[in-house]
Amino acid sequence: MNLTENRKIEHLDICLKQDVETGDPLFNDVRLVHQSLPETDLEDIDISCEFLGKKLDLPLLIAAMTGGCEEAEEINEALAGVAERKGLAFGVGSQRAMIEQPELTRTFSVRSTAPSILLLGNIGITALKRLPHDRVVRAVEAIEADGLCVHINPAQELFQNEGDHDFSGCANALESLCSAVPFPVIGKEVGNGISREAAERLKGAGVRAIDVGGLGGTSWSLIDSLRSGKDVSQYGAWGIPTAAAVLEAQVGLPVIATGGLRNGLHMAKAIALGADLCGIALPFLRILARDGIPGVEAFVEGLKQDFRHALFLTGCSNIAELRRTSFLLEAGLKEWADQRNLG
Ligand SMILES: Cc1cc2nc3c(=O)[nH]c(=O)nc-3n(C[C@H](O)[C@H](O)[C@H](O)COP(=O)(O)O)c2cc1C
């Protein structure tokens, strides 16, 4: 077993057994305005959407988690199957392991289980700098993905024992990739959020969408500090809370809201703030381990129901209307939006 494979197993183990969530995504600081004459029938509300040219039954991505070890193969297979049956998008974890060891490709390959889903590949930005484009293209094509998420994770790399601390040249590497590949590239944080400045740079580099990966859910600083034994307590709440990051990332590209979304109301708030798609990772892993595939399917049905209720109570009959619905910002989120001129 090589280092990358070993790290993947450790990550899964820590995520399943320890408290790895930190910060506050600030969704409690968003109020959607209640409408008492909604003029809609709950049953007629359309919660489907389109993202990167594919139709989804709910604006939800099972966000990138794993690949590269036996456990990962089972997890990807199970979650991609749920995505297919429930009409969701699905992202595999970092494909670096399969690029280094092609025999691990099967641990990421879910296309036969999920022939119609929006499927996203994944690679880290520091690995990208050292990889020729054709190897990245082959990795995406090998799993028949529709696009590639490039994860941008300076805080995680900083607190990982074997982390790469050289982020110089990353923007150029991303730009060169975006102009050379035949599929859409998504710039993705993993829990510390995307600022307006970073979003503008990502847009300039040619990404087709931004996953804000905000603060308030799974924390990679925390996970990798649990592995490395480094004390990162002063950086426990470092980053841009997810709700603020959705406002920050409005630069004219589709936005994915990920990081601490835990229910259908969080999803509705994220979309009202300007997200096009919502991403959830850790709860899927934990529910699968605890309750199996039926538990995961019940979780998705619960999300669909809560999300539909939010549309009903705001008088929206579809997602386009939800994106135009009125909301108020309170407390910390209002402060953030005011001081950063995000109105
Ligand atoms: C076990 C696990 C492994 C992950 N691995 C990756 C990865 O390989 N690449 C990536 O871009 N994000 C990875 N993530 C980050 C998630 O895609 C997501 O951005 C983050 O967990 C925040 O969402 P959450 O709060 O719903 O978990 C991982 C998350 C978890 C829980």
Tens place of pLDDT per residue across the chain (343 aa): 566 677 788 899 999 999 999 999 999 999 999 999 998 999 999 999 999 999 999 999 999 999 999 899 999 999 999 999 999 999 999 999 999 999 999 999 999 999 999 999 999 999 999 999 999 999 999 999 999 999 999 988 888 888 889 898 899 999 999 999 999 999 999 999 999 999 999 999 999 999 999 999 999 888 988 888 888 888 888 999 999 999 999 999 999 999 999 999 999 999 999 999 999 999 999 999 999 999 999 999 999 999 999 999 999 999 999 999 999 999 999 999 999 999 7
Q: Which of 211, 207, 329 is nearest to 278 (CA)?
A: 211
**How buried is residue 238: exposed, middle or buried, by Cβ count under 10 Å (0-12/13-18/19+)?**
middle
Q: Residue 161's pLDDT is what?
A: 82
| Nearest atom (ligand 1) to Cα of 213 | 19
| Nearest atom (ligand 1) to Cα of 91 | 17
Q: How far is CA 342 from the centre of its chain?
A: 22
Amino acid (1-letter code) at residue 278: C
Q: Residue 3's pLDDT is what?
A: 65
Amino acid (1-letter code) at residue 317: S
Ligand 1 site-directed mutation target among 5, 14, 65, most atoms within 8 Å of CB: 65
Residue of the CA atom closest to atom 3 of ligand 1: 65
Residue of the CA atom closest to atom 12 of ligand 1: 64
The CB of 280 under 6 Å from ligand 1? The reply is yes
The answer to whether the CB of 314 falls within 8 A of the CB of 264 is: no
| Nearest atom (ligand 1) to Cα of 151 | 11
CA distance linking residue 259 with residue 257, whole number of Å: 7
∠ at Cα 194 (191, 195), nearest 5°?
140
Question: What's the gap in Å between 39 CA and the centre of ligand 1?
Answer: 39
Tell me if the domain spanning 3-339 has CATH number 3.40.50.720: no
CA distance linking residue 150 with residue 148, whole number of Å: 6
Which structure tokens are listed for 174? 């991303």
The CB of 65 under 6 Å from ligand 1? The reply is yes
Q: Are strands 30-32 and 327-329 parallel, antiparallel or unpaired?
A: antiparallel
> Rounded to 5 degrees, what are φ and ψ at 58?
-150, 140
Q: Which helix (H) or strand (E) holds 167?
A: none
Residue of the CA atom closest to atom 23 of ligand 1: 259
Q: Which helix (H) or strand (E) holds 29?
A: none
The CB of 76 under 6 Å from ligand 1? The reply is no
Kindly list the domain boundaries of the chain, sorted by start residue.
3-339
The CB of 316 under 6 Å from ligand 1? The reply is no
DSSP secondary structure letter of residue 21: B
What's the whole-model pTM score?
0.97
The CB of 95 under 6 Å from ligand 1? The reply is no
> Rounded to 5 degrees, what are φ and ψ at 65?
-135, -50
